[in-house]
Amino acid sequence: MSSTDPSPNRRGYHGSCHCGKVRYIAFATIPPPIGPGIDRKNAMRFYKCNCSTCLKMGIFHMRLPNPAKDFVLLSPSDPAELSNYTCFEKNLDWRFCPTCGVRCFTVCTNGQNEEIDLEAKLGKPSEGKMTRIWRMGEEKWEPGSKGYLSVNAHTIDQDQERFDMRELVDKKWVEYLDGKEWAQPPRYDYPYPGGTW
């Protein structure tokens, strides 16, 4: 599904850090497809992981089907302007705002700046105004093998239509991963030991 998909369940959600230095739009489908038969590499997913990194950082993963098309960073224009933390193999950049400390997204790839008609991308009437954004390059993304981007769903701005984090949990649309041991398959009913709701 691309960012131009006309699905009525798909829309752009604005997100930001607490102070507003980091601003982005993530295109998500709600409700997400769930269950054991989904193609986890290509599906819209919400999940919580019980590994020490995700737990201590308070990450509520929102994985987009095609982050090269489904995520645009509005501010700053380069993620390198954010503070960064890496751990273990050091292949993921756990970016965070240098002012307020909020982690909006995690990325593992280089991206590119470009000018886009943001109103048109959001499906709104356009006046042709171009906006400078950063996004993951399409050549940098291949599901399951190249590139990584996870949005911290806690940073989606509040009170946007159809984005209710309570509903995600209540309707069991959230996957719980055993990232601490990687010994169990994903499940939708209850967090693994050490994990949280």
Q: What is the CATH number of the domain that holds 150?
A: 2.170.150.70
pLDDT of residue 166: 94
Tell me, yes or no, whether 3 lies in a domain. Answer: no
Q: What is the pLDDT of residue 34?
A: 84
Q: Is the pLDDT of residue 27 over 60?
A: yes
Domain count, the chain: 1
Tally Cβ neighbours within 10 Å of residue 82: 22
Is 44 within 8 Å of 29 (Cβ atoms)?
yes
**How does pLDDT run across 90-115, given as a tens digit for each residue?**
889 999 999 999 999 999 878 899 99
pLDDT score, position 4: 44
Whether 102 contacts 155, CB under 8 Å: yes
pTM, 2 dp: 0.90
- Say if 4 falls within a structural domain: no
pLDDT tens-digit series, residues 156-194: 999 999 999 999 999 999 999 999 999 999 999 999 999
Q: Is residue 71 part of a domain?
A: yes
pLDDT of residue 145: 64
Task: State pLDDT tens for residues 29-79.
Answer: 999 988 778 888 888 999 999 999 999 999 999 999 999 999 999 999 999
Enclosing domain of residue 80 = 10-177
CB atoms within 10 A of CB 169: 15
**Alpha-carbon distance 65 to 85, whole Å?**
25
Q: What is the pLDDT of residues 111-135, one digit of tens each?
A: 899 999 999 999 999 999 999 999 9
Whether 182 is covered by a domain: the verdict is no
Is 14 among the domain residues? yes
Residue 193 lies in a domain: no
In a domain, residue 57? The reply is: yes
Residue 143 lies in a domain: yes
